[in-house]
Amino acid sequence: MNYYQNFFTEKIRIQAGEQAPHFILEDMKGNNVQLSELKGKGVFLNFWGTWCKPCEKEMHYMERQYSHYKNLGVEILAVNIGESDIAIESFVKKHGLTFPILKDKDRTVPEAYDITPIPTTFLID
């Protein structure tokens, strides 16, 4: 379930140095993940799709960085845009991903961040 629409009524293009739009998305285990709960950590926020070849290519690097930085206060959140659980689960298994994968079935969070091409990544402190 995506709670973004409960927090914002209009899309605002985010700029460097501004507060990141808050969101709540479900992970692959059915848990809600809130961006605000990660306050105080660095967040590597990535938007991706299983069909996107550049996305696929960067996943190996993200996994390696997650293994190194997860105990140093940096979290990776990889937001899949609008795909089925089966497609996401197959991709995650194929690539051995262990970092949090979030599902945005309604595609509202990428709209909040004004995502056009994917992959797109934001670094949030």
Which tokens hold the place of 86?
């089966």
Domain boundaries, the chain: 25-124
| pLDDT of 5 over the 60 cut | no
Q: State the average pLDDT over residues 58-67.
A: 95
Q: Rounded to an integer, what is the distance from CA 124 to the centroid of its chain? A: 12
Q: What is the pTM of this model?
A: 0.85
pLDDT band (50, 70, 90) for residue 14: low
Tell me what pLDDT residue 16 has.
67
| pLDDT of 28 over the 70 cut | yes
Query: Each residue of 70-83: pLDDT tens digit?
Result: 999 999 999 999 99
In CATH terms, the superfamily for domain 25-124 is: Glutaredoxin (3.40.30.10)
Higher pLDDT, 21 or 5: 21
- Do residues 99 and 62 make contact, with C-beta atoms less than 8 angstroms apart? yes
Residues in CB range of 41: below 8 A, 6 or more apart: 73, 74, 75
Closest to 109 measured CA to CA, from 10, 21, 34: 21
Q: What is the mean pLDDT of the chain?
A: 88
Query: Each residue of 43-53: pLDDT tens digit?
Result: 999 999 999 99
